[in-house]
Amino acid sequence: MDPRQDKKTDVKKLIDKVRALHEGDRYLIETHGCQMNEHDSEKISFLLESMGFLPAPSEEEADLIVINTCSVRHSAEDKVYGHVGRLKHVKKTKPDLKLALCGCMMQRKASRDYVLDKFPQVDIIFGTNNIYRLPQLILSSDENDSLAMDIEDNYSDLDNQLQANRSHPFKSYVNIMYGCNNFCTYCIVPYTRGREVSRSMEDIVSEVKDLALEGTKEITLLGQNVNSYGKDLDDKSSFPELLRQINAISGLERIYFMTSHPKDISDELIACYKDLDKLAPYLHLPVQSGSNRILKKMNRHYSREDYFEIIEKIRQLDLKIALSTDIIVGFPGETEEDFKETLDLIEKVGYDNVFTFLYSIREGTQAAGMEDQVPQEVKKDRFQRLLDLVYREQRKKYESLVGSHLEVLVEGVSKNNPEKLTGRTRDFKLIHFEGPKDLIGQSIRVVVKDTSTFALEGEYIEASRS
């Protein structure tokens, strides 16, 4: 018998045990951070509902609150501490409330120790690698009044088999690998999420096939560094090969992936955009800085010239692939010259979207120990100048689309205007338009009428022919 099956049966027994005690209890999950965390929260939600928990409409009505934490920047950690602090008072009026913390911060001893010291009201702590342990932790917390905690350094294969409560029936995240081996000098992720572990191609393809049968049209393949997918597997499965297999699954319309590292982008991957009809024309390719000196200090293993070369190859395909990137401002030692090189790179590439971050010191990373930290006022000034450029560039890009007819996957009602629907173009731009609610989940055609900095405004024309 498959040992995975054996362990799965154990988890199932624990789930039934919790159900007997908690059926009908209400839960709420608060998620901080990236798509990886969002997807982990979808798994936690599925697990809780299989234990009989029901979603709570508000914190006040919850019997269990799970906070899925992020440790990439200091500001994300502060938000979590603030939130847990506020819940101290809720717990005073409702002592039976269970409070669970999970995610990247919990994988870091320093953050965990701080939580243990300052927030004795926390009942359960688990990490990013062992979500499946939650049933056992709930039972332990029921039995003892003390903290129930379980952190695994290595990724557990049982988490692979957890199903997820997808937030939309027509779009889904799928993990393809966990962890990161790159050790960019500013980044905490390799310390919190451990070394790279790829899922088998067979598991991934079978999950995507099931999702497609259930009505998923769009999938986003998740990994910290998807281009190195398969390098740790015996059969040397590669990311382009995985994309080819997924492209062959009927029912799917769009494939996205994130995140890619420029040092690992191969010609074979670039060719996939031409060869695979479902691979959406969008690439998120974090450059972080436009200065070779800073890229070296960041341990990124490419130069700005290498990066331009990749962009050129992508442009040569002539497929209107939208590009987005991440930029860190104020990395240790960044001079005005270095910063100007970043601005120059952004202008030259002409991104569709740029995610901007102020460098944040992460204890334990190499950059935290670098002596030439940039003063906060300088960082902030550069950040504002960067934003000015990014908004200007984005607006130009968006305005050039006025009058175009685009295929849009309708995602739901607009958050800012309940009269409007919202969706994504194939190249991942947000678009708002008026239309009947039964279009949600469908691919339709929309003509672009107007723009703002972050979204397009359009008019619904017809159901898509594609």
Residues that bind ligand 5AD (CB under 6 A): 72-73, 186-187, 286, 288, 326, 328, 357, 359-360, 362
CA distance 334 to 339: 7
The answer to whether the CB of 147 falls within 8 A of the CB of 121 is no
CA distance 338 to 71: 27
Provide the minimum distance between the beta carbon of 145 and ligand SF4 in the complex, in angstroms, as a whole number: 38
Provide the minimum distance between the beta carbon of 23 and ligand 5AD in the complex, in angstroms, as a whole number: 39
Q: Per this entry, what is the length of the chain?
A: 466
- Here's the x/- map for ligand SF4, 162-181, by CB under 6 A: it reads as ------------------x-
Residue 328's binding partner, choosing from ligand 5AD, ligand SF4, none, with beta-carbon cut-off 5 to 8 A by kind?
ligand 5AD
Provide the minimum distance between the beta carbon of 362 and ligand 5AD in the complex, in angstroms, as a whole number: 5
| Closest C-alpha to 11, from 130, 150, 176, 107 | 130
Closer residue to ligand 5AD, CB minimum distance, 31 or 360: 360
The answer to whether the CB of 459 falls within 8 A of the CB of 449 is yes
Residue 360's binding partner, choosing from ligand SF4, ligand 5AD, none, with beta-carbon cut-off 5 to 8 A by kind?
ligand 5AD
Closer residue to ligand 5AD, CB minimum distance, 211 or 328: 328
Alpha-carbon torsion angle 196, 201, 202, 204, nearest 10: 80
Closer residue to ligand 5AD, CB minimum distance, 90 or 361: 361
Closer residue to ligand SF4, CB minimum distance, 104 or 456: 104
Residue 346's binding partner, choosing from ligand 5AD, ligand SF4, none, with beta-carbon cut-off 5 to 8 A by kind?
none
Question: For residue 113, what are its two tokens?
Answer: 């120790």
Q: What's CA 5's distance to the chain center, in Å? A: 29
Binding test (CB under 6 A) with ligand SF4, winner from 182, 324, 360, 443: 182
Residue 225's binding partner, choosing from ligand 5AD, ligand SF4, none, with beta-carbon cut-off 5 to 8 A by kind?
ligand SF4
User: Residue 103, SS3?
Assistant: strand
Question: For residue 204, what are its two tokens?
Answer: 């991934």
Q: How many other CB atoms sit within 10 Å of the CB of residue 404?
A: 12
CA distance 218 to 229: 20
Residue 357's binding partner, choosing from ligand SF4, ligand 5AD, none, with beta-carbon cut-off 5 to 8 A by kind?
ligand 5AD
Provide the minimum distance between the beta carbon of 112 and ligand 5AD in the complex, in angstroms, as a whole number: 19
156 forms part of the interface with ligand SF4 (CB under 6 A): no
Closer residue to ligand 5AD, CB minimum distance, 270 or 358: 358
Please report, for residues 32, 38, 106, 194, 392, the alpha-carbon distance to residue 73 in angstroms, rounded to integers and kept in the order given. Answer: 11, 17, 14, 17, 26
The DSSP element (H or E) to which 348 belongs, if any, is helix 336-349
Residues that bind ligand SF4 (CB under 6 A): 180, 182-184, 187, 189-190, 224-225, 261
